[in-house]
Structure 1
Amino acid sequence: MRDLGRRGAVALGVTGLVAPLTLALGAAPAQAASCTTQTGPYQRQVEKFLGRPVDGRQSAADCTAVRAFRNRHGITPNIGYAGPVTWGVMNLMNKQKAVGNKPNKDGRCPVDKGRIACVNLTLQLSWIQDGSRLVYGPVPVRTGRNGYETRTGLKKVYWRHIDHVSSIYHVPMPYSQFFDGGQAFHSVGVSMWNPPGSHGCVNMTSKDAKKYWSLLKKGDDVYVYGRKPGT
């Protein structure tokens, strides 16, 4: 994040390393160094998501598949346990997929503002629309973790910096487009489902952040609504 001194004192929310969820709904077995043999409370759901035989019983192959999934999205500890965090991420992915190409079906994001970037915190999705016409997306995003929530409401892009580096966390924030104090759209090099989330920014893949950079400009509206799971 940049020093916003010349723009006034602002509480900064920056990138952190979100799976979009911190679903601390239960503890997994403390076997971080090896593959757990324990059946998890979401065993059947996880097996179905991963295309495994759905028998509700943990197997060595189940564990390997779950560990690969958790490793891909930076979920720790990296054990093959079908617990609430694993299933929480998978369930969110299912809900995001179900949206299809109608992210504003409920009409929550304003259609009377012209071009606007919408952020649905509940589904961890963002898109750009022009009136009721979908321009780009929806794409998965990684928003603020518990205690660093991405603030809701109608905002505007007020500053853009393509090669920004956080002055607080000293990490790169490519394609930054600030819309609320220190909160911005920008790319990160981690999975969009990497827990626990950002420090308030709306994290995106490099591809999506570049597209947002090309489509948005200073003064464009941004609307953030909903509530991120786990906050």
Structure 2
Amino acid sequence: MRVSGYAGIVAVALAVLCGCTVQPPDGGDGKGHAPVRVERPQGTPGGRSAPDGTAAVPTPSAVETVPPHIVHTRGDTGTGVRELQARLRQVAWLYDGPTGTYDDLTAQAVAGFQGRRGLPRTGETDAVTWRRLVAMTHRPGKWELYLMGGQPAAAPDARCLTGRVLCISKTSRTLRWMIDGRTVSTMSVRFGTQYTPTREGVFHVYWKSRDHYSTLYHSPMPYAMFFSGGQAVHYSYDFAARGYAGGSHGCVNVRDEAAVADLFAQVRRGDKVVVSW
């Protein structure tokens, strides 16, 4: 349909007043199609209302900035913190094993991760930081979550329920110090490797050596409590530094020096040692 003369002028005027546009005489496609209505966007820049009263579309500058939700921060503890630490290890921002405590090392690792990705270096794990970390990592398994120990101790072996006993579980990699069925303390431990396994069974502490040094392996074995030949429960600098990435030559390694020092002071020669799965 062609638009011409007085009628055409009226049609164009009405179209403008109604907020419409008129296609060129050929309809824009050369086939003489009727004019097409084009809707105007609602609102105007800057968040102001449009002349027709429709709601404004806010511009980025008009959107209020809401502080991100804090997921974890310094002092927090629990499995959620342990997962955070395991994920930070996956992207090489944390080298210590998961402890379940949001300490200074964890805060430093989070701040480094944030800064590398253009996020505010707060050291606190907010929702934005957490989503970014999750997108870059996989859900950690039990091995990763408890790389440096800290697993709940297994239920004590029945042979541990009487007397004074070092009750050692290979399954949970823990040592319980028990007296008459009561657990006095627990600690994470590490065992021998495939070729130098820690022997299992019931033994007794036959010798204690506070500052022992192995002449066979040329390494210190402080707080050693020997129970089977050259195998002993003792503090391990390597275990403290590398976690379960290494192994002993058959001894039961402890990584918490304060805990094993206290244990050494309490254990007597003749006390029972039970090593089980």
> Which residues of 2 match residues 132-147 of structure 1 at below 5 A?
132-136=181-185, 138-147=186-195
Give the TM-score normalised by structure 1: 0.58
Q: Which residue in the other structure is 2:169 paired with? A: 120
Pairing 1:50–2:101 present:
no
- Map 1:10-49 → 2, pairs under 5 A: 49=83
Q: Identity, % of aligned pairs? A: 28
Contact 1:109 1:118 in 2 (8 A): no
The structure where helix makes up a greater share of residues is: 2
Separation in structure 2 between the aligned mates of residue 113 and residue 195 of structure 1, nearest angstrom: 34
Q: Distance in 1 between matches of 2:196 and 2:269?
A: 24
Name the CA shift for 1:68/1:119 in 2 (closer, same or farther; >3 Å).
Answer: farther
2:253 maps to amino acid: N
CA distance in 2, matches of 1:165, 1:128: 24
Relative to structure 1, is the Cα distance of residues 166 and 109 closer, same or farther in structure 2, using a 3 angstrom cutoff?
A: farther
Give the letter for the 2:84 counterpart.
L
1:1-231 → structure 2 map (5 Å cutoff)? 49-50=83-84, 66-69=91-94, 71-73=95-97, 87=141, 89-92=143-146, 96-97=150-151, 99=152, 103=153, 105=155, 107-136=156-185, 138-191=186-239, 193-204=243-254, 205-226=256-277
Question: Scaled by the length of structure 2, what TM-score is found?
Answer: 0.49
Q: What is the CA-CA distance between 1:146 and the residue it aligns to?
A: 1.6
Return the index of the structure with the highest Cα Rg.
2
Aligned to 2:16: none
Contact 2:233 2:252 in 1 (8 A): yes
Name stretches of at least 5 consecutive residues in structure 2 with no aligned partner.
1-79, 98-135
Query: What is the rounded CA distance, in whole Å, between the counterparts of 1:144 and 1:191 in structure 2?
Result: 12
* Aligned residue-pair number: 159
Distance change >3 Å, CA 49–CA 217, structure 1 → 2 = same
Distance 1:95 1:166 in 2: 25
Structure 1's unaligned 5+ residue stretches are 1-45, 53-61, 74-80, 227-231
Q: C-alpha distance in 2, partners of 1:140/1:118?
A: 12
CA displacement 1:100-149 (0-9 Å, x = unmatched): xxx453x424245311001101111001111221112x211111122111
Which residue type is aligned with residue 232 of structure 2? A
SS at match of 2:261: helix
Instruction: Give CA-to-partner distance per residue, 1:139-171, whole Å, 9 cap, x none.
Output: 111111221111110000011111110011111
SS of residue paired to 1:222: strand
Q: Give yes or no for contact 2:212–2:224 (8 Å, CA) kept in 1.
A: yes
Q: Which has the higher contact order (CA 8 A, sep 6+)?
A: 1
